Amino acid sequence: MKRLLPTLRADQTSESLISVINTIQIAAKEISFRLHQGALAGVLGSTLDENIQGETQKKLDVVANQLLKTLLLESPNVHAIASEEEDSIVVSPNSGDYLVAFDPLDGSSNIDINGAVGTIFSILRKPGGEASGESMFLQPGKAQVAAGYVVYGPATMMVLTTGKDVRTFTLDQTVGEFLLTREKAEIPDSTKEFAINMSNQRHWGKAISEYIADLLQGEDGPRKKNFNMRWNAAMVADVHRIITRGGLFTYPWDKRNSAKPFKLRLMYEAAPMALLIEKAGGKASDGYQRLLDIVPTDIHQRVGVILGSAEEVEKCVDYHTKHPKPD
């Protein structure tokens, strides 16, 4: 079975990019080990600190963030990192060619219940010319040179694209190597599965309310087929299901808090997942435009997300064309 790095070498990925991905896999193996130790690792539960996003951090978020940050900043090929858990970007003393944005531990509320969590990463080229500081990171998702996630579930898997196919590597715990277990993810165009946090229904806008209402009517409604629902409370796990067998995932605009109408972060969650989904044949939109076309204005920007099986995403976007974008 092919290992991660030789697989990348075989398709002419540059050594500098391979080295960045190697650093991420080293951190991921360590995070995986600690997660699989569970309570034995003494890292479960919340710290007293609140992170930048105003959510209670779990100790393992801190550990995962520190690991990725330290290792990436030591890499000669990384110029700067942006993390969901950091207020600002951190510039490396090295003058590498790449910028890495990451969510160190997505779905952290699942840690305490032994549910799936993940690391999401996005690799950008450092822009030439004038750009410096945070503005270096403000590139649209379509500019990513690589994106991926590691899902820590019953097995630890890395799903990765360097702009070509989407490959899945499974961590062989006996030898400590990620081995290629799926050459090419292909998301079916149609689906009968959707993922949304239904408990937010009363807060949604008209487009999503009407779309979901039609799905729920099943065979008796306009869609004339029955749908099933899944929700992991960890985007990595929901996207992994979609990469594996199709489906639709959405975290839409909602009116609960006008200062924070979206939950998911563009640079750490939406853009890397959108690249993977598109490269696997699916679609990804905010309801009004392709997610990969959005140019971030802030490193911690949040966005509406609809992604998955192409036909289903198009259907959902159709409902948005009937209703103006909420403010």
Give the residues lining the site for ligand AFP (CB under 6 A). Answer: 55, 106-109, 197, 233-235, 251, 263-264
Report the distance separating Cα 219 and Cα 236, nearest Å.
30
| 296 burial type by CB count under 10 A (0-12 exposed, 13-18 middle, 19+ buried) | buried
Alpha helices in the chain (DSSP H): 4-10, 15-37, 59-74, 206-216, 235-245, 271-279, 310-321
Rounded to a whole number of angstroms, the minimum distance from the CB of residue 7 to ligand AFP is 27
* Residue sitting closest to ligand AFP (CB): 235
- Comparison of 96 and 247: residue with beta carbon closer to ligand AFP: 247
Alpha carbons 275 and 295: distance in angstroms, whole number = 14
Residue whose tokens read 């961590």: 171
Q: Which residues pair with 302 in a beta bridge?
A: 265
Residue 301: CB minimum distance to ligand AFP, A: 14
Rounded CA-CA distance 237/153 in Å is 8
Q: Which is nearer to ligand AFP, 54 or 129 (CB)?
A: 54
Instruction: Give whichever of 8 and 234 is closer to ligand AFP, judged by the CB atom.
Output: 234
Name the residue nearer to ligand AFP (CB basis): 20 or 60: 60
The nearer residue to ligand AFP, 29 or 263, going by C-beta atoms, is 263
Rounded CA-CA distance 305/264 in Å is: 7
DSSP code, position 108? G
Cα 195 to Cα 229: distance, rounded to the nearest angstrom: 6
- DSSP-derived pairing of the beta strands 117-125 and 98-106: antiparallel
By beta-carbon proximity to ligand AFP, the closer residue of 4 and 31 is: 31
- Of 46 and 170, the one with the shorter C-beta distance to ligand AFP is 46
**3-state SS, residue 113:** helix
Q: Return the closest-CA partner of residue 156 out of 256, 285, 25, 262.
A: 25
Cα-flanking dihedrals φ and ψ of residue 102, to 5°? -150, 155
CA distance 289 to 291: 6
